Structure 1
Amino acid sequence: MSINRVNISGNLTRDPELRVTGGGTQILSFGVAVNDRRRNQQSGEWEDYPNFVDCVVFGARAEPLSRFLSKGSKVAVEGKLRYSSWETKDGQRRSKLEVVVDEVEFLSPRNQASGGQGYQQYGGQAQPQAAAPGYGGPVAAAPQPQAQPAYGAVQTPPSADVYDEDIPF
Protein backbone atom coordinates (compact mmCIF):
# COMPACT_ATOMS: atom_id res chain seq x y z
CA MET A 1 0.00 0.00 0.00
CA SER A 2 1.21 3.52 -0.72
CA ILE A 3 -0.20 6.91 0.17
CA ASN A 4 0.18 9.93 -2.08
CA ARG A 5 -0.99 12.95 -0.04
CA VAL A 6 0.83 16.21 0.60
CA ASN A 7 0.07 19.27 2.75
CA ILE A 8 2.12 22.43 2.41
CA SER A 9 1.71 26.02 3.50
CA GLY A 10 3.61 29.00 2.20
CA ASN A 11 3.46 32.08 0.03
CA LEU A 12 2.65 32.23 -3.68
CA THR A 13 5.81 32.94 -5.67
CA ARG A 14 3.99 34.42 -8.65
CA ASP A 15 0.52 35.37 -9.79
CA PRO A 16 -1.44 32.28 -10.85
CA GLU A 17 -1.58 31.46 -14.55
CA LEU A 18 -4.95 30.34 -15.95
CA ARG A 19 -4.99 28.41 -19.26
CA VAL A 20 -7.63 26.51 -21.18
CA THR A 21 -6.90 23.36 -23.18
CA GLY A 22 -8.29 22.79 -26.66
CA GLY A 23 -10.95 20.56 -25.08
CA GLY A 24 -12.07 23.35 -22.73
CA THR A 25 -10.44 22.12 -19.51
CA GLN A 26 -9.26 24.98 -17.31
CA ILE A 27 -5.79 24.69 -15.75
CA LEU A 28 -4.52 27.00 -13.01
CA SER A 29 -0.79 26.90 -12.25
CA PHE A 30 0.98 28.63 -9.38
CA GLY A 31 4.05 28.21 -7.22
CA VAL A 32 4.30 28.08 -3.42
CA ALA A 33 7.48 28.84 -1.49
CA VAL A 34 7.94 26.79 1.68
CA ASN A 35 10.87 27.06 4.09
CA ASP A 36 13.12 24.38 5.46
CA ARG A 37 15.09 25.23 8.62
CA ARG A 38 18.67 24.06 8.99
CA ARG A 39 21.43 24.87 11.41
CA ASN A 40 24.38 26.67 9.84
CA GLN A 41 27.51 24.62 10.66
CA GLN A 42 29.79 27.69 10.86
CA SER A 43 27.61 30.05 12.93
CA GLY A 44 25.37 27.56 14.74
CA GLU A 45 22.36 29.74 13.85
CA TRP A 46 19.14 28.37 12.39
CA GLU A 47 18.54 29.53 8.81
CA ASP A 48 15.56 29.27 6.47
CA TYR A 49 16.14 27.65 3.08
CA PRO A 50 13.32 28.10 0.58
CA ASN A 51 11.82 25.28 -1.48
CA PHE A 52 9.67 26.16 -4.47
CA VAL A 53 6.72 23.86 -5.17
CA ASP A 54 4.72 23.93 -8.41
CA CYS A 55 0.96 23.48 -7.94
CA VAL A 56 -1.82 22.88 -10.46
CA VAL A 57 -5.64 22.93 -10.27
CA PHE A 58 -7.78 21.37 -13.01
CA GLY A 59 -11.37 21.89 -14.10
CA ALA A 60 -14.15 24.26 -13.09
CA ARG A 61 -12.43 25.12 -9.79
CA ALA A 62 -9.50 26.79 -11.57
CA GLU A 63 -11.13 30.04 -12.73
CA PRO A 64 -12.90 31.01 -9.46
CA LEU A 65 -9.77 30.22 -7.48
CA SER A 66 -7.61 32.37 -9.76
CA ARG A 67 -9.61 35.45 -8.72
CA PHE A 68 -8.62 35.07 -5.06
CA LEU A 69 -4.93 34.23 -5.38
CA SER A 70 -2.06 36.61 -6.08
CA LYS A 71 1.69 36.75 -5.63
CA GLY A 72 2.59 36.80 -1.93
CA SER A 73 -0.70 35.30 -0.72
CA LYS A 74 -0.24 32.83 2.12
CA VAL A 75 -2.06 29.54 1.52
CA ALA A 76 -2.25 25.99 2.77
CA VAL A 77 -2.55 23.44 -0.04
CA GLU A 78 -3.59 19.80 0.09
CA GLY A 79 -3.28 17.43 -2.82
CA LYS A 80 -1.26 14.64 -4.37
CA LEU A 81 2.15 14.53 -5.99
CA ARG A 82 2.49 13.98 -9.73
CA TYR A 83 5.76 13.34 -11.56
CA SER A 84 6.17 14.46 -15.18
CA SER A 85 9.10 14.02 -17.54
CA TRP A 86 9.62 15.16 -21.12
CA GLU A 87 12.28 15.85 -23.71
CA THR A 88 12.92 19.39 -24.92
CA LYS A 89 13.33 20.31 -28.59
CA ASP A 90 17.11 20.34 -28.18
CA GLY A 91 17.08 16.77 -26.78
CA GLN A 92 17.45 17.49 -23.06
CA ARG A 93 15.47 15.40 -20.57
CA ARG A 94 13.42 17.47 -18.12
CA SER A 95 11.28 16.43 -15.20
CA LYS A 96 9.32 17.96 -12.36
CA LEU A 97 7.31 17.00 -9.34
CA GLU A 98 4.16 19.05 -8.74
CA VAL A 99 1.14 19.06 -6.45
CA VAL A 100 -2.25 18.39 -8.04
CA VAL A 101 -4.36 20.49 -5.69
CA ASP A 102 -7.54 19.20 -4.06
CA GLU A 103 -8.03 21.94 -1.44
CA VAL A 104 -6.72 25.44 -0.76
CA GLU A 105 -7.08 27.32 2.51
CA PHE A 106 -6.51 31.07 2.42
CA LEU A 107 -4.25 32.10 5.29
CA SER A 108 -3.56 35.76 4.55
CA PRO A 109 -6.00 38.67 4.43
CA ARG A 110 -7.09 39.67 0.95
CA ASN A 111 -7.69 43.29 1.94
CA GLN A 112 -6.70 44.36 5.45
CA ALA A 113 -8.62 47.66 5.32
CA SER A 114 -12.10 46.28 4.82
CA GLY A 115 -13.38 43.33 6.79
CA GLY A 116 -16.59 41.46 7.25
CA GLN A 117 -16.09 38.45 5.04
CA GLY A 118 -13.36 35.84 5.13
CA TYR A 119 -12.54 32.86 2.99
CA GLN A 120 -11.89 29.85 5.19
CA GLN A 121 -11.36 26.93 2.84
CA TYR A 122 -11.57 26.12 -0.83
CA GLY A 123 -12.36 22.51 -1.56
CA GLY A 124 -14.47 22.85 -4.68
CA GLN A 125 -15.64 26.45 -4.89
CA ALA A 126 -14.74 29.56 -2.92
CA GLN A 127 -17.10 29.70 0.03
CA PRO A 128 -17.53 33.15 1.60
CA GLN A 129 -18.07 33.29 5.33
CA ALA A 130 -19.15 36.12 7.56
CA ALA A 131 -16.39 36.82 10.04
CA ALA A 132 -17.73 36.78 13.59
CA PRO A 133 -16.27 39.16 16.17
CA GLY A 134 -13.39 37.51 17.96
CA TYR A 135 -13.03 34.82 15.31
CA GLY A 136 -9.35 34.33 14.57
CA GLY A 137 -9.78 33.30 10.93
CA PRO A 138 -8.46 35.22 7.95
CA VAL A 139 -10.38 38.33 6.94
CA ALA A 140 -10.86 39.27 3.31
CA ALA A 141 -13.20 41.49 1.35
CA ALA A 142 -14.50 39.97 -1.85
CA PRO A 143 -17.61 40.14 -4.01
CA GLN A 144 -20.33 37.57 -3.53
CA PRO A 145 -20.24 34.81 -6.17
CA GLN A 146 -23.12 35.03 -8.64
CA ALA A 147 -24.27 31.43 -8.41
CA GLN A 148 -23.65 29.07 -5.52
CA PRO A 149 -22.96 25.46 -6.52
CA ALA A 150 -24.74 22.63 -4.78
CA TYR A 151 -21.81 21.77 -2.51
CA GLY A 152 -22.07 21.20 1.23
CA ALA A 153 -22.95 24.27 3.24
CA VAL A 154 -20.13 26.08 4.98
CA GLN A 155 -20.74 26.56 8.66
CA THR A 156 -19.93 29.91 10.16
CA PRO A 157 -18.83 30.23 13.77
CA PRO A 158 -21.46 31.63 16.15
CA SER A 159 -21.32 35.34 16.80
CA ALA A 160 -19.72 36.48 20.04
CA ASP A 161 -23.06 37.63 21.49
CA VAL A 162 -24.68 34.13 21.43
CA TYR A 163 -24.92 32.59 24.88
CA ASP A 164 -26.05 29.17 26.06
CA GLU A 165 -29.24 30.74 27.41
CA ASP A 166 -30.17 31.87 23.89
CA ILE A 167 -30.18 28.34 22.50
CA PRO A 168 -33.75 26.92 22.69
CA PHE A 169 -32.83 23.33 23.63
Structure 2
Amino acid sequence: MSINRVLLSGNLTRDPELRATAGGTPVLSIGLAVNDRRRNAQTGEWEDYPNFVDCSMFGTRAEAVSKHMQKGDKIAIEGKLRFTQWEKEGQHRTKLEVIVEDIEFMAQRRDQ
Protein backbone atom coordinates (compact mmCIF):
# COMPACT_ATOMS: atom_id res chain seq x y z
CA MET A 1 0.00 0.00 0.00
CA SER A 2 1.15 3.55 -0.65
CA ILE A 3 -0.22 6.94 0.33
CA ASN A 4 -0.61 9.76 -2.17
CA ARG A 5 -2.01 12.81 -0.32
CA VAL A 6 -1.02 16.45 -0.67
CA LEU A 7 -2.05 19.37 1.57
CA LEU A 8 -0.89 22.84 0.54
CA SER A 9 -1.74 26.46 1.17
CA GLY A 10 -0.40 29.39 -0.76
CA ASN A 11 -1.14 32.19 -3.20
CA LEU A 12 -2.30 31.89 -6.80
CA THR A 13 0.52 32.87 -9.16
CA ARG A 14 -1.82 33.60 -12.06
CA ASP A 15 -5.51 33.87 -12.86
CA PRO A 16 -7.13 30.44 -13.17
CA GLU A 17 -7.39 28.95 -16.66
CA LEU A 18 -10.57 27.01 -17.42
CA ARG A 19 -10.76 24.71 -20.45
CA ALA A 20 -12.47 21.45 -21.37
CA THR A 21 -11.20 18.01 -22.34
CA ALA A 22 -12.10 16.54 -25.73
CA GLY A 23 -14.96 14.80 -23.92
CA GLY A 24 -16.26 18.08 -22.50
CA THR A 25 -15.07 17.71 -18.88
CA PRO A 26 -14.13 21.09 -17.36
CA VAL A 27 -10.45 21.37 -16.33
CA LEU A 28 -9.19 24.18 -14.10
CA SER A 29 -5.44 24.91 -14.14
CA ILE A 30 -3.89 27.03 -11.40
CA GLY A 31 -0.40 27.89 -10.21
CA LEU A 32 0.26 27.97 -6.48
CA ALA A 33 3.21 29.60 -4.68
CA VAL A 34 3.91 27.81 -1.40
CA ASN A 35 6.56 29.43 0.79
CA ASP A 36 9.26 27.44 2.53
CA ARG A 37 10.66 29.45 5.46
CA ARG A 38 14.42 29.11 6.08
CA ARG A 39 17.04 30.98 8.03
CA ASN A 40 19.58 32.77 5.84
CA ALA A 41 23.00 31.41 6.86
CA GLN A 42 24.73 34.74 6.17
CA THR A 43 22.30 37.18 7.79
CA GLY A 44 20.62 34.94 10.36
CA GLU A 45 17.24 36.33 9.21
CA TRP A 46 14.26 34.15 8.31
CA GLU A 47 13.39 34.30 4.61
CA ASP A 48 10.64 32.88 2.42
CA TYR A 49 11.66 30.67 -0.49
CA PRO A 50 8.73 30.03 -2.83
CA ASN A 51 7.93 26.65 -4.35
CA PHE A 52 5.79 26.90 -7.49
CA VAL A 53 3.26 24.10 -7.91
CA ASP A 54 1.03 23.39 -10.92
CA CYS A 55 -2.44 22.16 -9.97
CA SER A 56 -5.46 20.87 -11.90
CA MET A 57 -9.06 20.32 -10.86
CA PHE A 58 -11.69 18.49 -12.90
CA GLY A 59 -15.48 18.53 -13.22
CA THR A 60 -18.34 20.92 -12.60
CA ARG A 61 -16.90 22.00 -9.25
CA ALA A 62 -13.75 23.19 -11.05
CA GLU A 63 -15.95 25.30 -13.30
CA ALA A 64 -17.83 26.75 -10.31
CA VAL A 65 -14.78 27.69 -8.21
CA SER A 66 -12.94 29.23 -11.17
CA LYS A 67 -15.33 32.20 -11.04
CA HIS A 68 -14.24 33.07 -7.50
CA MET A 69 -10.44 33.07 -7.85
CA GLN A 70 -7.86 35.48 -9.17
CA LYS A 71 -4.10 35.92 -9.07
CA GLY A 72 -2.87 36.65 -5.53
CA ASP A 73 -5.73 34.92 -3.68
CA LYS A 74 -4.71 32.64 -0.79
CA ILE A 75 -6.16 29.13 -0.99
CA ALA A 76 -5.69 25.74 0.64
CA ILE A 77 -5.95 22.56 -1.39
CA GLU A 78 -6.05 18.84 -0.77
CA GLY A 79 -5.35 16.33 -3.50
CA LYS A 80 -2.91 13.83 -4.93
CA LEU A 81 0.25 13.90 -7.04
CA ARG A 82 0.12 12.88 -10.69
CA PHE A 83 3.13 12.35 -12.95
CA THR A 84 2.53 12.78 -16.69
CA GLN A 85 4.83 12.10 -19.67
CA TRP A 86 4.35 13.06 -23.32
CA GLU A 87 6.18 13.89 -26.54
CA LYS A 88 6.05 17.39 -28.02
CA GLU A 89 7.94 18.34 -31.17
CA GLY A 90 10.19 15.31 -30.73
CA GLN A 91 11.05 16.23 -27.13
CA HIS A 92 10.21 14.03 -24.15
CA ARG A 93 8.29 16.10 -21.57
CA THR A 94 7.32 15.37 -17.98
CA LYS A 95 5.20 17.10 -15.38
CA LEU A 96 4.45 16.52 -11.71
CA GLU A 97 1.25 18.26 -10.63
CA VAL A 98 -1.35 18.16 -7.88
CA ILE A 99 -4.81 16.92 -8.82
CA VAL A 100 -7.08 18.99 -6.56
CA GLU A 101 -9.90 17.15 -4.81
CA ASP A 102 -10.84 19.80 -2.25
CA ILE A 103 -10.26 23.55 -2.14
CA GLU A 104 -10.77 26.24 0.50
CA PHE A 105 -10.66 29.98 -0.06
CA MET A 106 -8.59 31.62 2.69
CA ALA A 107 -8.24 35.27 1.61
CA GLN A 108 -8.78 37.30 -1.52
CA ARG A 109 -6.14 39.63 -2.88
CA ARG A 110 -6.83 43.22 -2.01
CA ASP A 111 -6.07 45.67 -4.82
CA GLN A 112 -4.67 48.92 -3.57
- Normalising by structure 1, we get a TM-score of 0.61
1:86 shift after superposition: 1.9
Percent of pairs with identical residues: 66
Aligned residues: 111
d(CA) in 1 for partners of 2:96, 2:108: 29
Q: Cα deviations across residues 98-117 of structure 1 (Å, max 9, x unaligned)?
A: 11001101101478xxxxxx
Tell me which residue corresponds to 1:108: 107
SS in 2 for 1:42: coil
| Structure 1 segments unaligned to the other structure (5+ residues) | 112-169
SS in 1 for 2:60: helix
Tell me which residue corresponds to 1:45: 45
Structure having greater relative contact order (Cα 8 Å, sep ≥ 6): 2
Tell me which residue corresponds to 2:59: 59
Tell me which residue corresponds to 2:18: 18
d(CA) in 1 for partners of 2:35, 2:103: 18
Question: What amino acid is aligned across from residue 95 of structure 1 in structure 2?
Answer: T
Q: Cα deviations across residues 9-37 of structure 1 (Å, max 9, x unaligned)?
A: 00000000000122111101001100011
Q: Cα deviations across residues 69-105 of structure 1 (Å, max 9, x unaligned)?
A: 111110000000101122220x332211111001101
SS in 2 for 1:14: coil
Tell me which residue corresponds to 1:6: 6
Is 2:71–2:109's contact at 8 Å kept on the other side of the alignment? no
Is 2:72–2:108's contact at 8 Å kept on the other side of the alignment? no
Tell me which residue corresponds to 2:97: 98
d(CA) in 1 for partners of 2:108, 2:8: 18
d(CA) in 2 for partners of 1:16, 1:101: 13
- Normalising by structure 2, we get a TM-score of 0.91
CA separation of 1:42 and 1:30: change in aligned 2, threshold 3 A: same
* Aligned alpha-carbon RMSD (Å): 1.7
Question: What amino acid is aligned across from residue 48 of structure 1 in structure 2?
Answer: D
SS in 1 for 2:77: strand
Question: What amino acid is aligned across from residue 103 of structure 1 in structure 2?
Answer: D
SS in 1 for 2:107: coil
| Structure 2 segments unaligned to the other structure (5+ residues) | none
1:39 shift after superposition: 1.8
